[in-house]
Structure 1
Amino acid sequence: MKLVVVGDALLDVDVEGTVSRVCPDAPAPVLDVVGEHARAGGAALAATMAARDGVDVTLVSALSDDETGERLRSLVEVPSVFGRTDSVPAKTRLRCDGTSLARVDRGGTSGPPQVTDDMLDVVLSADFVLASDYGRGLLRDERLRSVLTRVPVVWDPHPRGPAPVAGVRLATPNLAEATKFSGVADPDEAASALLAAWRARAVVVTLGGKGALLHCGGTPIAVPAPPVPVADPCGAGDRFAVTAAVRLAGGAAPDDAVADAVAAAAEFLAHGGVSGMRAPLPSTVDEVRARGGIVVATGGCFDVLHTGHVRMLAAARALGDCLVVCLNSDLSVRRLKGGGRPINRQDERVEVLKALESVDDVVVFGEDTPENVLGRLRPDVWVKGGDYSADLLPEAAVLRRWGGRTVIVPYHRGRSTTEILARRG
């Protein structure tokens, strides 16, 4: 079964810290930051959930050609087809002890996203589609909406988004969304009204800790939720919609699909919600840590691989039991090196690095510096090649948070991508 998740992708960032004092000039807590975790959100989060369930899934969305869009692209874990949008929304939550203190939103106020023929082709090729609307305009596109009437769809709506296309297998509004679309606060009446207005086969109104109410045209079916402590409800709606879509695609009846979706959302929350599904580390890192080994990491553009790179990587690998290369993305290289770079595309650079005996894995990052990806990998050793002082590198302060160390390996003069290109010019 091939699932396509189509909708708005977001960048979600959790800034974690501790609070022990109040700001002297305002009654506001002071957050002492201890870590930052970024993840793909919105439709990209739903696609990630499906992929981690073992589903063959493709994401169809739109990204911007800026730092936020590139960072989000580097976090997406599934095969994807992207159109273009002027601005990707970024949501940053300031958190302490599992509780959000505030949220800062940026971007996402641009014009309509671009929908390409490739995006439409992927949607048409799906066995089943989850339309994950986050109110940013992609699912308003008329060509895309026309295509969505030709495939089986579960539609997860948003109060700022459009109504589902006619004929969806299941629409999954929460009570606030159902009330907004129907004008009725009672969940039974709202579900009944939306079933008719949307010409859907079924509508389920999700009710948080109270479960869900399913309406297929006859007597509504109440599905209770098991009691679970909820510290962070973020992502529960996506978990519900993904499970419902996968179960319906597998031939389940709507009431069985909704019951499984309620149970999956409860289990998701019981395990910490999105905070419990950090982006997975490379399997090599987990395996080395499990046996008490040393994880080494290094980073750079590695645009035109040369002997200086090869020698530095070999020296780095000799310092531990695995080596992970943190690789600058294409947009990151362009910002750092100029418009003519990189010479080799990101996927080509990854392939070449992974072919080296010294390299165990490669992680791509979209920022100009690797601090965020280091916070996720938490290597024991960070290696730089060149004329540096280890204590002065910004990465050294990051490594000290978990007791890691920074090591400088010899710099091989005359061997750099810039010098090679200059000689050819």
Structure 2
Amino acid sequence: MPTFDENMFKIAIIITDELGKITSVSSSIVYFIGLSPKELIGRSIYEFVDEKDLPKAKECLLKCLSKDGGPVTMAYQILNPQKKSKNLVLATYHGALKDVNPKDIAISWSDISEGLKARQELERERTRLQYLFYGNPEAIALTDKNNFIVEANDSFCKLFGYDKEEVRGKHIDELIAKDSPYFEEASHLSSLVTSGEAIDLESIRKKKDGTFFEVAITGIPVKFGDEFFGIYAIYRDISDRKRTERKLKEYVDYLEGAWIQTISALGSALEQKDPYTAGHQRRVAELAKAIALKLQLTEDDVKALYMASLVHDIGKIRVPAEILTKPSKLAFEEYELVKTHPRVGFEILKDIEFPWPIAEIVYQHHEKLDGSGYPRGLRGSEIHPLALILTVADVVEAMVSNRPYRKALPVETALAEIEALKGMHFDPWVVEACSSLLKSGDFSFED
């Protein structure tokens, strides 16, 4: 059984006389103008040719009737009266039919509307891709599978200081990294992309004049199916950005130094009044830092906790020295005065522009999970996570150090205390980290 091919209806054969009057036509003409052969016999073919294309259509017919006439081909639009639309056809005039009627002309119409649309779309896509390549402000080079440059845009040439003639056909790694400490790295990166791996990183490359500069590199393998054809490489000059980042880091380091000096000055002020408290703050800071590292906190959190720990008792500067150094148990009123030091510390620190919540951590370092702490009686998640660490470090150090009113207690006693109150006063994770550090010997106050 013969198969149906819809494309067979996209070709029509028309026989006309020397004036263009239709004498015979194939049934496929319906596809083009919506009329049957019977409806077309005796009508002029020019009725269905777009007005602007009529002169060329008539010229083609006359050429075929001439002495040396032969096949003549042109594209023109035809009208479909039924659909009130236009189709673009490729019309071929095959010349006079001398064996049948010398004055008859055979004309074939082939629908090229879809093909033209596809070609136009392809051309638009090609133009767009060319613009993305040639008009792109990013420096782009396209290599073959052996890493030799096939094409490079103006931005690439401008960035590296070459003319296009100097770039094409050159090995990309030798062009921008040869005789430099980065040539081996460049070759390795090209090998990675050649193996099918895309890369995106920052490095150093060399210009034509020998200048080295910082560059961001993106390398993408160009593949069709499983076949590798080359590398699509993008380069961005990041020298200015890197300089800005370095200056910003220098400024941040400077500010951090100023913050450390501020913290040290505050600690020194308290040390003049109470040597016990000053030494206590330093040791608490070291233990708190060790716990934070054990819990794998971020570098920024470790720094914030350490800074806060160094001044967590700064509020005691308003407590009379005779109370701080009293060799016996404090009276109720004296203890109540000491308990004000977290709030006083907050008031001292809150207006200093630290990049960390130091004032709030200091304010909360005597709060407990069950709400039994002071000065605000905060509970659970209301307490800053870093304050929970400071609380444990503060209690442990205070117990294992000499105080005016008692001798230092063994580390085992301090650990038993925090483990007994784990989950009630103290965060369980913090307690476990602290106990692990001290029992294993990974941390020692003597160190």
Structure with max Cα Rg? 2
Task: Sort the TM-score into its range (normalised by shorter chain).
Answer: under 0.3
TM-score by length of 2: 0.21
More strand by share: 1
Per chain length, whose mean CA-contact separation is higher, i.e. which structure has more relative contact order (CA < 8 Å, sep 6+)?
1
